[in-house]
Amino acid sequence: MDLELTGYSFPNDVHITWSLMIVLYPYITGLVAGAFVVSSLYHVFWIKTLRPVSRLSLVSSLAFLTVATLPLLTHLGQPTRAFNILITPNFRSAMAAFGLIYSFYFAIVILETWLVFRTDIIERARRNRGLKRWFYAILALGVYDASEESQRVDHKFIVVLASLGIPAACVLHGYVGFMFGSVKANSFWSTPLMPIIFLFSAVTSGIALIIVLYEFLAKLSGRGIDAACVQTLCRILALFVVITVTVELLEIVQLAYQGGEEWQVVGPLLSGKLAFSFIGIQMVFGSLIPITLLGIVVLMRPYLTNPLRNTIAFIAASILLIQVFSMRWNVIIGGQMFSKSLRGFRESYSPGLFEKEGIAVAIVIFLIPFIIMAIFNRFLPLHQEPEAPIDPSTRTAMFRREAFPS
């Protein structure tokens, strides 16, 4: 690891303390929050075109949530001490509060996932024999009522849980931005916009992940891609990425306009040592190109064929996943590359390949959620077909039946 320094640095500024694992942690929690938002847009806000990805997004959120703490545990010298936040809670500690937030949100996602797949679980419990029957019977928790009335009750609980999960997901990831924004000693982090930037970029990365996963799995399984679903996702993604990039730029412009002593070190950092990752990857490649591509998809819909539109959306979403990771890297690593004296720089940081917090470990942790989803799909289907169009008169009758039950 390069330890060369320029200018004046305090002894505690020599090393990058929060390394690749701390970059990966907010990236994964961002995917958790963003994927859950996509699921809630269908269950709570009734955006019916998102039905094909409603299950995929919910299970994606659960899968990434399962491994969300692994980067932190890998980073800790004594991972078993993490349980102290539950055994001896300190409600005045923002870090300790994470354990409570994580547990509450995990319970919501688990329960909602069970309710969403309960009908499929019961059907497979009745259809299979032997060990499979026992497996699905255990998942059913002894409840085998799959009538229309029970499904209606399930749906009401799903809406409630999804409604609770939206603010919980926002708190889960907004908390990460809050942690960095609360570090007063670091002028690059200590800004009220930090939680907002982390939150909006989280939703951006989650939506992008669902687009990539949905199109990849559809091609892999030979199913057709629902053009209306992709179009809706692109519209929502375009909105969030524009807001995210705008807020990120506003933060930098505000620092530059104020011209305080912190800008004398942040400015050269962004235009010098972080020029490639910030200007090249995050702003130009990761922001300008996908915004342009999403603009083409959203504004030129009548002139594009479905395959072309899906391809452009896939490329834009893939680039945005890189952009959000680059943003996490620039904030977390970049914020540690200058001295707290504001008169010195650490030359560079590059994680090793096979070290404790190296690239290989990060790749393994990031791949685990996809393995979880693959195993989940072996037992319960992630894909859900879009609903058939309903005649207006039938829709009116259904509404009257739900609104004014006899």
Q: Over the stretch 306-359, which tens digit does the pLDDT of each residue have?
A: 999 999 999 999 999 999 999 999 998 888 887 766 676 776 778 888 888 889
Residue 274 is part of which domain span?
A: 222-349
Are 164 and 44 found together in one domain? yes
Are 337 and 319 found together in one domain? yes
Q: Measuring CA to CA, how many Å separate 328 from each of 97, 154, 203, 259?
A: 22, 38, 14, 24
Are 340 and 357 found together in one domain? no
The identity of residue 46, as a single letter, is W
The reply to whether 195 falls in a domain is: no
d(CA 312, CA 317): 9
Are 329 and 373 found together in one domain? no
Q: How many domains does the chain have?
A: 2
CA-derived radius of gyration, the chain: 23
The reply to whether 28 falls in a domain is: no
Are 166 and 264 found together in one domain? no
Give pLDDT tens digits for 120-145: 999 988 888 888 888 998 888 888 88
Are 112 and 149 found together in one domain? yes
Are 177 and 233 found together in one domain? no
The reply to whether 332 falls in a domain is: yes
The identity of residue 189, as a single letter, is W
Least confident of 141-150, 263-272, 357-366, 392-401: 392-401
pLDDT at 11: 54
Are 360 and 344 found together in one domain? no
Query: Residue 26 burial (CB < 10 Å; 0-12/13-18/19+)?
Result: buried
The reply to whether 324 falls in a domain is: yes
pTM over 0.85: yes
Least confident of 65-74, 123-132, 173-182, 209-218: 173-182
Last-in-domain residue among 349, 379, 401? 349
Are 170 and 227 found together in one domain? no
Are 233 and 158 found together in one domain? no
Cross-strand bridge partners of residue 338: 345
